[in-house]
Amino acid sequence: MIHAEGVAEITDTTFDEEVLGADLPVLVEFTADWCGPCRQLAPVLSAIAAEEAGRIKIVQLDVDANPGVTSRYAVLSMPTLMVFREGEPVKSMVGARPKRRLLQELEDVFAVA
């Protein structure tokens, strides 16, 4: 899996505890080794994870190794970014994007947190 520095890797086994049970909003990147746009997104997620550590938790899930969560949320394209708050998915975005755009798309998440 393409690992973003400072971003935890989760699995089907740890998803409920790490994401659904989290105190902060959680941004989950559904990713895969073969995904080119996922490589572009890794440094963006690392930067946001460092800058927004107190406001959002960012994790990655390898779709090939974790088909359970991937199918539970009907994820078909990589990268899919899903934001969970209080155990519920509240936002979904597909595709890589620059840091500034992703932060703009997360403003409503930060506003509630």
The residues assigned a catalytic role are 35, 38
Which residues on adjacent β-strands are paired with residue 61?
Answer: 10, 30
Backbone region of residue 79 per phi and psi (left: phi > 0; alpha: psi in -120 to 50; beta: other values)? beta
**H or E stretch including 1?**
none
Residue 29, exposed/middle/buried by CB under 10 A (0-12, 13-18, 19+)?
buried
Distance set, CA 22 to CA 16, 25, 33 (Å): 9, 7, 26
